Amino acid sequence: PQERVTVLGLGAMGGVLAGSLLDAGHAVTVWNRTARRAEPLVHRGASGAATVRDAVTASPVVVACLFDHASVHDTLEPVVDGLAGRTLINLTTTTPSEARELAGWAKRHGIDYLDGAIMATPPMIGAREASILYSGSRDVFDRNQPILDGWATSTYDGDDPGIASLYDLALLSGMYQMFTGFLHGAAMVRSAGVSSAEFARRATPFLGAMTAAFAAQAEVLDAGDYSDPPQSLTWTATALDTIARASRESGADPAPITVIRKLVTDQIEAGHGDEDLDRIFEGLRTG
C-alpha cells in the first residue's frame, strides 16, 4: 500500500532511502539542511519541504537519517510539537544509550519511536542482503512493514530501543578487526612481492572457514568454563609472538597482534595460562 512518509537527511544514505520509497510508489516528502540536495528527489516526484516543520507535519511517519545523535536533537527539538502524535523512525547511527535517550525524549512528547541500525552501504539498499535492525516500539515496526521491507531485510530485536544499535556496533567491531587482520596480513606478504589480490584469494576461504568456530566458542563462553582448551593461553602467547616477529621481519607494523597479545598476557598474569584462549572474553567483558 501507498504510505505518506517524510525523510529528513538526504546524505549518501538518506537520499537512497528516500529514492527507494519513491520507487515503491509511496508519497514522499523530503527535507535536507542544505536544500539543493533535495532537488534530484523532487525531480523524481518527492515533495520538497521548505522547513523542517513543513516536513514533519506532512506525513504520519517521519524517518530521520542524519549525521549523529546531536544533529537529530538539533533538527527535531524546535519542531517537537509538530511531531507529537506521529511516528519517528530514527535510522541515524547512535550509541545504545543515545538511542534510549532519544526514545525517552520521544515518549515524553507523545511521539511513537522506533530506532533502526542500518547494516548496509547505500548501493545495497533495496537488496535482500541488506539488513536493518530495529528496536523500540513493536507496534511501529509491525505497522510500517511496507516501508521497512522495501529497504532491506528487517529484523526486530526487542523493545529496548538501544538493542539494535548495540548489535550493529558489536558486529561492526568484528568487521573492522577482520578487515584490519586482512590488511595486516596483506602488508606482511607484500614484503615478499605478493600482490594483495593473491593474498585475498588465500584469505577469503581461510577466514571464511574460521567463522565456523564461533558456535563452539560460544558454547565455551555461555558455559563460562575455560578449563578444557584445544589451545591454551600460554600456547597462544607463543604463536602470537612468532607472528609479531615475522611481522617485524617483513617490515610490517605488528600493532594489531600486539593488542591481542596484551589481552592474552593479562589473563596469563591473572593465573589462567593453562586455560582456553577464549578466556580473554572475561577480560573484555569486565574491562
User: Which residues contribute to the site for ligand NDP (CB under 6 A)?
Assistant: 9-14, 32-34, 37, 65-68, 71, 74-75, 92-93, 118, 121-122
Q: How far is the CB of 152 from ligand NDP (least distance, A)?
A: 11
Q: Of 69 and 261, which has the nearer Cβ to ligand NDP? A: 69
- Cβ atoms of residues 97 and 118 within 8 Å: no
Q: How far is the CB of 17 from ligand NDP (least distance, A)?
A: 9
Q: How far is the CB of 117 from ligand NDP (least distance, A)?
A: 7
Q: Of 77 and 81, which has the nearer Cβ to ligand NDP? A: 77
Report which residue's Cβ sits closest to ligand NDP: 11
Q: Of 18 and 277, which has the nearer Cβ to ligand NDP? A: 18
- Strand, helix or coil at 262? helix
Tracing cell 568484528 back to the chain, one arrives at: 174
The stretches of 109-213 forming alpha helices (DSSP H) are 138-143, 145-151, 163-190, 196-210
Q: Of 157 and 275, which has the nearer Cβ to ligand NDP? A: 157
Q: How far is the CB of 140 from ligand NDP (least distance, A)?
A: 19
Q: How far is the CB of 130 from ligand NDP (least distance, A)?
A: 10
Q: How far is the CB of 69 from ligand NDP (least distance, A)?
A: 9
Burial pattern 246-264, b for ≥16 Cβ within 10 A else e, equals: ebeeeebebebbeebbebb
- Classify strands 61-64 and 87-90 as parallel, antiparallel or unpaired: parallel
Q: Of 33 and 107, which has the nearer Cβ to ligand NDP? A: 33
Burial pattern 83-99, b for ≥16 Cβ within 10 A else e, equals: beebbbbbbbbbebebb
Q: Of 95 and 234, which has the nearer Cβ to ligand NDP? A: 95
Instruction: Name residue 29's beta-bridge partners.
Output: 6, 47
- Cβ atoms of residues 119 and 175 within 8 Å: no
Tracing cell 537519517 back to the chain, one arrives at: 65
